[in-house]
C-alpha cells in the first residue's frame, strides 16, 4: 500500500451467508492497524450487523478493562426499503465512500450475503476482492458448475459471472487489475478426499476466472469465542493484552498473516 495514494479498498464478498466474511474483515482490519496503517471498516450488511457487533464488543471490552487496543473507525449502511429512494441512496453511498477514500490508508468493506444495491456499490470501489468459500464442493457452485465425473468446469456460476461484470466496469473506470483472492474458510482439520478435491477444483477455476487461491482458515472454535469480547487472534500476547496462546491460536495467527501477504506482500 502506498500512503500517498487514495485508500486501498478491500471488499470481502460472497453471495452466500455464513462464509466468515465478518471474521475475516475484523482480523484484516486489526492486522493492518497493528502494521501502522489507518483503517476504516464499513458494514454493508447493516441490518444483520455482524461486523458492527464485533467492533461494538471490542469497544465495550476495552472500556471495561481500560485497554487501548487498536479499533478501526467504523461505518454502517443499511439498505433502503423504499425502491423509489434507492437511486438517491446509491448516490449517497458513493459520496460517503468517496470522502472516506481520502482519509484512510485502507478501507475494508464487509458485504451482505445477498446481492442488493449495497453489495453492488461496494464492488465498484474494489482494489482487492476477498471471497471466502467453505470447503464444500457444493459451495463451489457460486464460481462454476463442475462435472465431477470428468473433473471439468461447466458454465460459470452466478457469482463468477457477476465478478466478471465488476471487472469490466472497473476496467471502464481505468482500473485494469482487480486483486481477486479466493480463501478457503472453515476448513476441516481432517485430511479428506472431499477437502483435497475442493482445493484441486479451486486451483483449476483460478486459472479460468483469474483469481488467486489463499490456503485459508481452519474451522476453529477460537474465532467464535473471541467474537464475544471483540478480540482477534492477533491481540493475544500484545503489550495491552498478555494472554497465553494455544497451538490453535498460533496456527490461526499464521493464517491471518498469510492472507495479509496476499494483499500487501511488501
Task: Give the tens place of pLDDT for each residue, 28-64.
Answer: 999 999 999 999 999 998 778 999 999 999 999 999 9
3 located within any domain: no
**Beta-sheet pairing, 152-156 with 144-147:** antiparallel
Report how far residue 249's alpha carbon sits from residue 64's, in angstroms, rounded to the nearest whole number. 24
Count other Cβ atoms within 10 Å, centred on residue 198. Answer: 22
User: Residue 179 sits in which domain range?
Assistant: 8-263
Helices (H), 39-192: 50-65, 86-100, 117-123, 158-172
Report how far residue 108's alpha carbon sits from residue 74's, in angstroms, rounded to the nearest whole number. 10
| Chain position carrying cell 497493528 | 34
pLDDT tens, N- to C-terminus, the chain (266 residues):
444 458 999 999 998 877 889 999 999 999 999 999 999 999 998 778 999 999 999 999 999 999 999 999 999 998 888 888 888 999 999 999 999 999 999 999 999 988 899 999 999 999 999 999 988 888 888 998 887 777 777 788 999 999 999 999 999 999 888 999 999 888 877 677 778 888 888 999 999 999 999 988 888 888 888 999 999 999 986 666 777 777 888 888 888 888 888 887 54
For the chain, the farthest-separated pair of C-alpha atoms sits apart, in whole angstroms, at 59
What pLDDT score does 5 carry? 56
- 165: domain CATH number? 3.40.50.300
**Per-residue pLDDT tens digits for 158-180:** 999 999 999 999 999 998 889 99
Cell output for 54 = 464485533
Q: How many domains does the chain have?
A: 1
Please say whether the dihedral angle defined by the alpha carbons of residues 79, 105, 59 and 238, taken in this order, is positive or negative.
positive
* 8-state DSSP, 147: E
83 located within any domain: yes
Strand partners, 41: 74, 108
34-52 in b/e burial notation, b at 16+ Cβ within 10 A? beebebbbbbbbbeebbbb
28 located within any domain: yes
Quote the pTM value. 0.91
Residue 218 has φ and ψ, to the nearest 5°, of -70, 160
1 located within any domain: no
2 located within any domain: no
Amino acid at each position: 500500500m502506498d500512503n500517498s495514494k487514495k485508500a486501498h479498498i478491500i471488499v470481502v464478498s460472497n453471495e452466500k451467508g455464513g462464509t466468515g466474511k465478518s471474521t475475516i474483515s475484523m482480523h484484516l482490519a486489526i492486522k493492518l492497524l497493528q502494521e501502522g496503517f489507518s483503517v476504516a471498516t464499513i458494514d454493508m450488511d447493516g441490518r444483520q450487523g455482524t461486523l458492527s457487533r464485533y467492533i461494538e464488543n471490542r469497544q465495550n471490552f476495552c472500556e471495561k478493562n481500560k485497554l487501548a487496543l487498536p479499533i478501526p473507525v467504523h461505518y454502517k449502511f443499511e439498505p433502503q426499503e423504499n425502491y423509489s429512494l434507492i437511486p438517491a441512496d446509491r448516490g449517497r453511498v458513493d459520496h460517503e465512500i468517496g470522502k472516506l477514500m481520502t482519509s484512510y490508508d485502507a478501507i475494508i468493506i464487509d458485504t451482505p450475503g445477498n446481492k442488493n444495491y449495497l453489495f453492488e456499490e461496494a464492488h465498484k470501489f474494489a482494489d482487492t476482492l476477498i471471497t471466502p468459500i467453505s470447503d464444500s464442493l457444493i459451495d463451489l457452485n457460486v464460481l462454476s458448475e463442475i462435472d465431477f465425473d470428468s473433473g471439468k468446469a461447466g458454465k460459470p456460476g452466478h457469482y463468477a459471472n457477476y465478478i466478471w461484470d465488476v471487472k469490466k466496469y472497473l476496467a471502464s473506470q481505468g482500473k485494469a487489475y482487480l486483486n481477486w483472492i479466493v480463501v478457503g474458510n472453515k476448513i476441516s482439520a481432517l485430511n479428506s478426499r472431499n477437502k483435497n478435491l475442493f482445493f484441486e477444483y479451486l486451483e483449476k477455476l483460478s486459472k479460468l476466472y483469474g483469481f488467486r487461491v489463499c490456503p485459508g482458515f481452519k474451522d476453529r472454535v477460537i474465532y467464535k469465542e473471541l467474537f464475544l469480547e471483540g478480540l482477534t487472534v492477533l491481540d493475544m500476547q500484545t503489550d495491552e493484552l498478555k494472554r497465553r496462546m494455544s497451538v490453535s491460536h498460533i496456527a490461526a495467527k499464521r493464517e491471518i498473516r498469510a492472507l495479509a501477504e496476499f494483499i500487501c506482500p511488501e
